[in-house]
Amino acid sequence: MLAHPGVLVAQTIALVDDDRNILTSVSMALEAEGFTVKTYTDGTEALRGIGSSPTDLVVLDIKMPRMDGMELLGHLRKSHRMPVIFLTSKDDEVDEVLGLRMGADDYIKKPFSQRLLIERIRALLRRGEQSLTAAEGENEPAIQRGDLILDPGRHQCTWKGDVVDLTVTEFLLLKALALRPGHVKSRDQLMDGAYGEHIYVDDRTIDSHIKRLRKKFKVIDEEFAQIETLYGVGYRYRDR
């Protein structure tokens, strides 16, 4: 099957939801766009399947029997960096914020437009392809800002010599800030840096990623305070 332009053949999406109607309709829509889709009806089954089969991106429902989406996301983030989009009920903001803090890259509220989901999937996969192309070609030079070292070619971040394990979204947000220390980045600018232009995610998504970034650094260094919030404006990386 020919893939849609910008989508590589054989890119595999894992779709995890206990609603079989969603599994059927979404998998058909994704397959029509050239994706390979593997479906799972609960977290336990998905963890086993994703662990044994290469997966490029996971679309994950939060509320499921046996192992819910939050628990599955926690297991996945121990050993996988692939993008994760999670599905949440339209009134459950707690799930959205907690899921993003645990390492999801994006969320979509049910009921959702299949076209919107496909656009978000394409954006995250395209971002991954661009990172891989950069790593295989001329490696970007490492960025050093005091005790921080970011190595885009190896997707590695260290603080005071200790490795900080970041998701792709977290790495790109930190890179956008560290490239110009002292300069304020608006949430819109950070969205473009992490997701690409023309893909909208709301402000809470960016704020949750920043909170998780800070938390990861504070595990290593309780005094970490390099990412500053300018309320109503955005964020900046301290230049000293």
φ and ψ at residue 83, rounded to 5 degrees: -60, 145
Q: pLDDT at position 152, please?
A: 83
Residue entry with tokens 């819910």: 68
Which pLDDT tens digit goes with each residue over 149-198? 998 877 789 999 999 988 778 888 999 999 999 999 998 888 887 776 55
Residue entry with tokens 């490492």: 142
φ and ψ at residue 194, rounded to 5 degrees: -95, -30
Helix and strand totals (H; E) in the chain:
8, 11
Cα angle value 85/89/95 (rounded, 5°): 65
The percentage of residues in the chain with a pLDDT greater than 70, rounded to a whole number, is 82
Q: What count of residues does the chain have?
A: 240
Contact 28, 52 (CB under 8 A): no
Give the pTM: 0.62
Please tell me which of 16-20, 62-66, 95-99, 123-127 the model is most confident about, judged by mean pLDDT: 16-20
| Residue 40: both structure tokens together | 């799972």
Confidence of residue 110 (pLDDT cuts 50, 70, 90): confident
| Residue 140: both structure tokens together | 């970007």
φ and ψ at residue 150, rounded to 5 degrees: -115, 125
* Structural domains of the chain sorted by starting position, each given as residue range(s) with its CATH number in brackets: 12-133 (3.40.50.2300), 139-237 (1.10.10.10)
